[in-house]
Structure 1
C-alpha cells in the first residue's frame, strides 16, 4: 500500500456488509477490501442465506454476524457490533474505487457522514448515462442509495437513530434525516456496482420501476407496499 502522509491509523473504520445469498459476491469483494483497506474491520451481517455465503465469508472477514433478514436490521446490528469510529455500509456486489490512504484523507476533516459516486459495471453507454443521472440526483438532493457506500461517524449514527426498520427505502429515509444534521461529504472516486438487476429485468423496465418507487415513496406510499411491488412481480 502506498505511503499516506496522515498515517493510516489516525481513524478507525469498519465496513458493514449485509448479505443474503451472496456467495459469488463475497468471494470477490472481501479479498479486495482486505488488500486495499488492511486496517479496516470487515463485518458481514448475514440475513439467513441458503447458499454458501456464510461459509465463504467467515475466513475472509473479521466478524460474521447472523441476523434476521432485512437490510436495515442487518446494518443496524452490524453497526452495534463494529468498533470503527466510522461505519461504512457497503453492498456485497459493490466495490469502492478508492484505497485506504484516499479514504483517510477524506475522513481527516471528520465529516459527519457522506457517500460516493456510483458507477454501474459494463461498457455499454446506457450504464454510463444511468450512472450520471444517479450521481446528479444524489448530489443535488443529498440523498444516497445503498450502493453508494454510505459512511457515517458513529456519534452521528447514534444521534440519527440508525436505519428505520423498513423493508425498502431505508437508505433514502436515513439520508433525509442525516442531511438535516449536516451536509454530506462527497467522495469523487466511484463505487463500481453490479448491473445485474438492470440486465436481468431490462434497462428501461428497471429505470421506470426505480423512478416509480421513489415517486411513490415521496408521496407517502408505505415501504411495505413498495416492497411487495418491487419483489412481487419478479
Structure 2
C-alpha cells in the first residue's frame, strides 16, 4: 500500500484540492496513510491536515528535509511524494495500481513513476510549457517534484532518500535513478499556475531555467532557493 508524503509551508489555499484527489485511493484501500511534512506553517495548513486525518510531521523548513522526514515516518511499501499545490487527475489510481502490481509481481524491475505535467490554466503559454516539460522528460528523463513521484520504499532506501536541501531535491534524487528505472504514467498531475500568472510565464520560466543552470554548475541549493523566489518547503 501507498504512504503519501506532502511537504507544506503555508499551503492552506491549495491543500484541500490536493487531498480530495487522493480520497479514491483511500476508499479503494490502496492508500494506507497521508503524511504532511510541514516546515512551520502559520496559516490554516495544519488545521486542514488534522481535519483530514493526516499524520503531521514537523521538520526544519526545506523541501528535501521535509520529504526525508515524512518518508522516515511512512509505513507503506510504496511512497508517493506530491506537492501541496498539485492535484492528480481522476485516472491516477488505475495507472498507479497497474504499475505497482507489475513491479510487485516481478514483471518488471523495481522502478519509480511520475505523472504528466499540467497547469490549471488555459492559453498558449501553459500549453507550450506543458509540451516543454514532456520533451524534457523524453530526452533527459528529468521530472520535477510537481509531477509527483511514486516509488517502492526499498528502492527509495537503496538510493539514500532525498537530500536535506531546500531546493533541487527532486532533481538530485531522480538523477540517482537509471534511465530504465523511471517511467511516466498517463495520468496528469495538475499544478497551480499562480506563480506563472503573477510573475508572467516568460519571466518565471527563465528564472526556473537559470536556477537549473546554476545547479548544474554546483551553486548551493540554499542560494538557489532565494533566487527561485519561494520560502523553502513551500508547495
Give the TM-score, by structure 1 length: 0.88
Secondary structure in structure 1 of the residue aligned to 2:56: strand
Contact 1:44 1:61 in 2 (8 A): no
* Residue aligned with 2:188, SS: strand
Matching residue of 1:201? 199
CA distance in 1 between counterparts of 2:168 and 2:97 reads 29
Q: Distance in 2 between matches of 1:19 and 1:167?
A: 12
Confirm or deny that 1:31 pairs with 2:27.
no
- Does 1:90 pair with 2:82? yes
1:203 Cα deviation (Å)? Answer: 0.9
Q: Between Structure 1 and Structure 2, how many residues are aligned? A: 220
Residue equivalent to 1:183 = 181
Which residue matches 1:223? Answer: 221
How far does residue 173 in structure 1 lie from its aligned partner after superposition? 0.6
Which segment drifts farther, 64-73 or 127-136?
64-73
1:103 equivalent in structure 2: 96
Structure 2 distance, partners of 1:196, 1:189, is 22
1:162-201 Cα deviation digits (max 9, x unpaired):
1111121110011101237x52021121111110110111
Alpha-carbon RMSD? 1.6
Deviation of 1:75 (Å): 0.7
Q: What are structure 1's unaligned runs of at least 5 residues?
A: 1-11
**Are residue 60 (structure 1) and residue 52 (structure 2) matched?**
yes
Relative to structure 2, which stretch is displaced further, 95-104 or 63-72? 95-104
The equivalent of 1:17 in structure 2 is 6
Higher relative contact order (CA 8 A, sep 6+): 2
- The answer for the alignment partner of 1:166 in structure 2 is 165
Equivalent in the alignment of 2:65: 73
Whole-angstrom distance in 1 between the partners of 2:35 and 2:59:
12
Q: 2:106 corresponds to which residue?
A: none
CA distance in 2, matches of 1:112, 1:17: 20
Structure 2 unmatched ranges of 5 or more: 104-109, 231-235
